[in-house]
Amino acid sequence: MKSVSGGMPAHWLPLGVRVRNLAFRLSPSEASFARHDFPGQALPGRPHLERVIETFITGFNAALESPDHTELTRLLDTSHSQPFLGFAYEGVGLWLAIGDLFLPWTDSRLASFTKHVAPRHDFITMVGAGFAVARMPFGLARLESYQEKLDPFTAWCVADGVGFHDGFFHWRKYQSGRTPAPHRLHPQNRDLFDAGVGRSFWWVYGAEAKPIAAAIQRFDAARQPEMWTGIGTALAYAGGHQAGSEQQLLGLSGAHRVDLLSGIALGANMRHKGGNPAPWTDDVCAATMQRPVADVSGWVDEDVAGYLDSWDGIATSMREGCYLALRARLAARFGDSVATARRSS
């Protein structure tokens, strides 16, 4: 049997690697829509979306076998096509965070990896770390102390990953719209949890606009903006939707159009920063913004820079408010553009 990385046979691997494989290795079957009984399993987006999760699993399993992070990045970069590469790094984030949470007294391997080894993929690697928080004993109670060890402008992604994990693996809990975000979390993390739950609906409902919109509509009004932001991020970054879905989602989002557009911008920024373009990201930005990905990504960078220029306070406040401030700036940007478009029509 070959190892995950396609190198030496599994029984030739070092003992530590074999133990990690036995304890943690993920099966590709976890990507199956049928296994999770998703309502969207009969829809045409299923093969694409299953491939995304399969790539996540491949990245996680590769990280199990590759203690050398430089070699790990070389392996990932040469094993995956550009549109799917980021999802492999997301799987790496899960493995690194498991190590961090098991050994909380050590320096964070996730922080080191995203700062020094793979900074282009820092956002999506942090999202993968949220899976570890969701699965580890007392992980949610430790989320915010863990975030303090990470870069404040990427650590917020961990909470998004927690919400995605819960929405993906426990989707039935969220069908009624009555399951709350964890009350113990800081308000920014609660919003990000909801963004992750919203993004999970992209898989649960097979990237189909109408059932996604219906699922979000069942939640309290205060939670819907971030869920639409999560859908925008999935639309731009993950893809798998049918032609015309962009305009359909813009229509169905209604009052949350600016939130959907904000999520699209965040997805475009992850793509552009990662240097791993995808044709569907190009198409989504053209259809919704009439701009190339680089321009849309640049708006996010401008708004982050604007927040940094205006911020004056302690580091904790910056960490606990950076995402909320960015969302407010994006919403204002797209609110102005939507208002202008309505006046001209």
Task: Please give the structure tokens belonging to residue 255.
Answer: 């009052």
Q: What is the pLDDT of residue 344?
A: 42
Predicted model pTM: 0.92
**Rounded-to-integer distance, Cα 87 and Cα 89, Å:** 5
**What is the maximum span of the chain, computed from C-alpha positions, in angstroms?**
68
**Rounded-to-integer distance, Cα 76 and Cα 311, Å:** 37
Task: Please give the structure tokens belonging to residue 207.
Answer: 């990237």
In angstroms, the Cα distances linking 264 to 119, 138, 247, 249, 335 are: 21, 33, 13, 12, 14
**Rounded-to-integer distance, Cα 239 and Cα 243, Å:** 11
Q: What is the pLDDT of residue 341?
A: 44
Helix (H) / strand (E) containing 339: helix 315-344
In angstroms, the Cα distances linking 159 to 5, 9, 125, 133, 170 are: 29, 37, 12, 9, 16
Q: What is the pLDDT of residue 267?
A: 98
Q: Mind listing the pLDDT tens digit of every residue in the chain (345 residues)? A: 344 444 445 555 554 555 565 568 899 999 999 999 999 999 999 999 999 999 999 999 999 988 899 999 999 999 999 999 999 999 999 999 999 999 999 999 999 999 999 999 999 999 999 999 999 989 999 999 999 999 988 999 999 999 999 999 999 999 999 999 999 999 999 999 999 999 999 999 999 999 999 999 999 999 999 999 999 999 999 999 999 999 999 999 999 999 999 999 999 999 999 999 999 999 999 999 999 999 999 999 999 999 888 877 766 677 788 999 999 999 999 996 654 443 343
Q: Is 275 helix (H, G, I), strand (E, B) or coil?
A: coil
Angle at alpha carbon of residue 139, lines to 76 and 115, rounded to 5°: 40
**What 3 state SS string does 143-186 have?**
HHHHHCCCCHHHHHHHHHHHHHHHHHHCHHHHCCCCCCCCCCCC
* Count of beta carbons in the 10 Å neighbourhood of residue 173: 12
**Rounded-to-integer distance, Cα 101 and Cα 93, Å:** 12
In angstroms, the Cα distances linking 192 to 160, 164, 188 are: 5, 10, 6
**Rounded-to-integer distance, Cα 29 and Cα 32, Å:** 5
